[in-house]
Structure formats: structure tokens, C-alpha cells
Amino acid sequence: MKPKTLGEKYSYTFIMPALLMLFLFVAVPTIIAFFLSFTDYSILGKPRFVGIQNYRFALHDNVFRKALFNTAYYAILYVPIKVILSFLIALALTQSFINYKKTFMIFFYLPVLTSMTASSMIWLWIYQPDMGILNGILSALHLPRSQWIYGKSTVIPSISTITIWKDFGYDVVIFVAGLSGIPKELYDAAKVDGAHGWSMVKNITLPLLKTTSLFVIVTSIIASFQVFTAIYIMTQGGPENASTTVVHQIYLNAFSYLKMGRASAMSFVLFVIILFFSLIQFKIIRVEE
């Protein structure tokens, strides 16, 4: 009996540091944020209870609504294009006749290694309206120039182009791992039965890749709702709020306007959106198991 209790005691020593850190820097902050979201608080002075006013404000404020819309628009471009593209690339890479698979993967992974800050700087230069290479190419082809990140209708697609470029390599690696896990015999058997090309993809690859795809899709959706750095560096939400996003609004309200209560309420709106997608993922994975 004694050694077992001793083992238990040790187990708690093993997990204690982690629990302490998570308690202090995740659990407690979440509770504080929840309370703050019902107050008016500017760091100076004490929080003043205001009920659900912050939530009401967030959902009626034109700028925050615009931010929700922009974020959703960004997600609708970013998620499907990136996931489908990464899947097709991974499918191409795992064909048995492909050589230099590693080399290709290294090339695709270079943007993933680059910080969002550095990527934003590079693309600021590419999108530069007067001297940038993209408008240079358009001019050379006698096509109308674009305002890219400086145009109201082009800014969100331009930003999602950058993040798709930056992130797809990560998904390629995950999809390649998933595809390599599918037993080759399944394809051989299907071939004997006369299946080929897309029918094999549809009937073997996609069903067996369901968990992997779901993981990639849900993590992409969650990431897309958190877009911030590119916006902060390249557009500051402009022109005329055409690219402000949920996290950009949280940042501005908290650290520029010092409306900490309002920003906390906005962060809980984001939390609910993300929770919705996380729960879908948990649920589907549960069902699989």
C-alpha cells in the first residue's frame, strides 16, 4: 500500500508546476476577463459594473460589426482556398512517381518559417502601388493597376493571399503525413476492381483522410478568426475600416482607447465563435473514436 501512495505523491509533484502556470496564466485570466467584460475599466481607477452594456455595444457598434464581417469574409477566402490547395499539393507529392518530394516540401515550408512581420514587409513592397512588382506586371500586360491593400474592395483578398502563401506549407506537411498513412494495398485492390484516378480519391483517400482534414479545416477556421499581425502592420484596419478585424478591434479598444471592459466583451464574442468550431471538432472526433 505504501509504495502506491508514494507514487501518487510523486505524480502530483510532476504535474504541479504545469498546473500552477496554467492556473495563473490561463484559468485566472479567463475569469478576470469574464468579470471585466461587465465593467467599464480604463486601467486608471477601479472597474465600474455596467451589466451587459459592453456586449450590447459590441453587437450594435458599426465598427465592430464591420470587423466581424471583414473577419468572416477573410475566413471564407482563406480557409477553403488554403485547405483545398494544400490537399491537392499533398496528393501530388505522394504520387509514387514523384521525385524530389523533400525538396518541394522544403520550398513550400519556407514561408511558414518566416515571421508574419517579415512576410508583411515583403508583401508591402510587392503590393506597393507605384513601384511594386505586381502593378508593374499589370502595366506591362496593359491591364489596369490595382490598389491592392490600399483599396477598399481589394484589401481583404490581398491580405488573405499573403496568409495563404504563408501558411499552406504547414497543411501540406500534415496532409502528406495523413496520406502516407493510407495503406497502399487499398489502392492496389481498388485498381484490380477497375477504379482509377478521381474515383480512388473519392472512395478511398477522402474517407480515410476525414480526421486529418477535419483537424486542418477547424484549426484553419480558428486561426482565420484570429488574424491580426498582417492587418496591424500593413493596413492598421484601413482604408476606412475595410480591413479591421475582430482581434484588431480588441487590440485597439484595450490598448489604444483603454476601454478594457469593452475589449474583454469583444474577446468573449470571439471566444464563443471559436468555441463553436472547437466543439464541432471535439464532437466529430468523439464520434470517430
Partner 1 sequence: MGKSKNGMKLLVYVFLIFIAILSLIPFLWSIDSSLKTVKYNYAHPLSWRPKPVAFGNYVKIFTMFSFGKNFTNSLIYAGGKTILTLIICPPAGYAFARKKFKGRNVIFILILSLMMIPSQVLLIPTFLILKNFPLVGGNNILGVGGTGFLDTYWGLILPTAVTPFNIFLMRQYFLTLPKSIEESARIDGASEFRIYWQIALPLALPALTAISIFSFQGAWNDFIWPLIVLRSRNLQPLTLGLQVFQDENFDLWPLLMAATLVTTAPMLGIFAIFQKYFFRGVSFIGTSK
Site map 45..84 versus partner 1, x via CB under 8 A: ----------------------------------------
Residues 237 to 266 in contact with partner 1, rule: CB under 8 A: 247, 250-251, 254-255, 260, 263-264
Residue the block writes with cell 501558411: 167
Nearest-approach distance from CB 118 to partner 1, in angstroms: 5
Alpha-carbon gap, residue 221 to 216, rounded angstroms: 9
Which burial class, exposed, middle or buried, applies to 244 when counting CB atoms under 10 A from its CB (0-12, 13-18, 19+)? buried
Per CB under 8 A, the list member of 76, 110, 143, 206 interacting with partner 1 is 110
Residues 142 to 201 in contact with partner 1, rule: CB under 8 A? 165, 169-170, 173-178, 181
Segment interacting with partner 1 (CB under 8 A) among 58-66, 69-77, 128-136, 183-191: 128-136
* Angstrom distances, CA of residue 110 to CA of 166, 169, 224: 8, 8, 20
- Judged by CB under 8 A, which of 68, 79, 83, 89 binds partner 1? 89
Interatomic CA distance for residues 57 and 80, integer angstroms: 32
Compute how many residues bind partner 1; rule: CB under 8 A.
Answer: 96
C-alpha to C-alpha distances, 177 to 82, 98, 200, 233, 261, nearest whole angstrom: 17, 16, 18, 34, 44
For partner 1, give the closer residue by CB, 4 or 153.
4
Binding partner 1 (rule: CB under 8 A), the pick from 50, 73, 215, 239 is: 215
In the complex with partner 1, the residue whose CB is nearer, 66 or 108, is: 108
Distances (CA, A) of 144 to 160, 161, 187, 212: 21, 19, 48, 41
Identify any residues that bridge with 39 across adjacent strands, giving them in sequence order.
49
Give the other-Cβ count within 10 Å of 114's Cβ.
Answer: 15
Q: In the bound complex, what is the minimum distance in angstroms from residue 7's beta carbon to partner 1?
A: 6
Residue list 11-50, contact with partner 1 (CB under 8 A): 11-12, 14-15, 17-19, 21-22, 24-30, 32-33, 36, 43
